[in-house]
């Protein structure tokens, strides 16, 4: 029964997973080259250097960490950044996406990020830590409250944009998770919270 339910939720998220990666490479250097190529089409060289700095910093912070897929952890924030780039975000938002897990998953602190990248990036990264704590536990009566909480905790919409890009890549790699009950919970949470928020914000480039 569990496998059938999981398959149902994955099928229901087909539109949410409409973003296609440019390639299937897990080489973070190659992915970063693609990010720079895309960002360079609308951002000045000064901003590109800031983005490169964020990549070097995040790669060092996540050094040695692996995802359940077996790939280097840094691949995840870079893939999320590729998704985010469909919105043509500013350099600060791109930096934030690349750095979005360093406070939560490494020894890097808010003050460290602030010192290296400024308060704006640090505040956005801290905001992502907060919204990541919003969880769906299977009770539909909680959905509206959770959505309102999610939106309220993200005082800057850029936090939501990064979090959605992060969620899309997490869903794309969800099959690597060994616990089926958690896969189902994440799939349900995505459909019941993230998809409606995307629609509310008019993020139709994700074909929700």
Catalytic (active-site) positions: 104-105
Between the alpha carbon of residue 10 and those of residues 3, 13, 17, 25, 59, the distances in Å are: 11, 5, 9, 23, 31
CA proximity to 184, closest of 133, 136, 141, 147: 136
3-state secondary structure of 134: coil
DSSP secondary structure, 41-109, as one string: TTS-HHHHHHHHHHHHHHHHHTTT-B-TTSSBTTHHHHHHHHHHGGG---HHHHHHHHHTTHHHHSS--
Is-contact 170 186, C-beta < 8 A? yes
82, two tokens: 């590729």
Is-contact 124 159, C-beta < 8 A? yes
């Amino acid at each position: 029964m569990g496998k059938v339910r999981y398959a149902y939720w994955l099928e229901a998220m087909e539109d949410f997973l409409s973003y296609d990666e440019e390639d299937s490479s897990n080489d973070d250097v190659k992915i970063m080259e693609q990010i720079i190529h895309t960002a360079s089409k609308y951002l000045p060289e000064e901003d590109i250097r800031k983005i490169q700095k964020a990549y070097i910093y995040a790669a060092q912070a996540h050094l040695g960490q692996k995802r359940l897929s077996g790939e280097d952890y840094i691949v995840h924030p870079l893939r999320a950044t590729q998704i985010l780039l469909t919105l043509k975000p500013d350099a600060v938002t791109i930096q934030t996406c690349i750095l979005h897990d360093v406070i939560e998953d490494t020894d890097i602190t808010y003050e460290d990020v602030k010192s290296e990248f400024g308060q704006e990036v640090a505040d956005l990264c801290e905001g992502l830590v907060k919204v990541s704590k919003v969880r769906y536990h299977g009770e539909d009566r909680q959905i509206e409250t959770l959505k309102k909480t999610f939106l309220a905790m993200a005082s800057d919409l850029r936090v939501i944009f990064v979090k959605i890009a992060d969620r899309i890549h997490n869903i794309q790699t969800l099959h690597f998770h060994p616990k089926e009950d958690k896969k189902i919970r994440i799939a349900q949470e995505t459909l019941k919270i993230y998809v409606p928020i995307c629609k509310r914000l008019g993020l139709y480039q994700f074909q929700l």
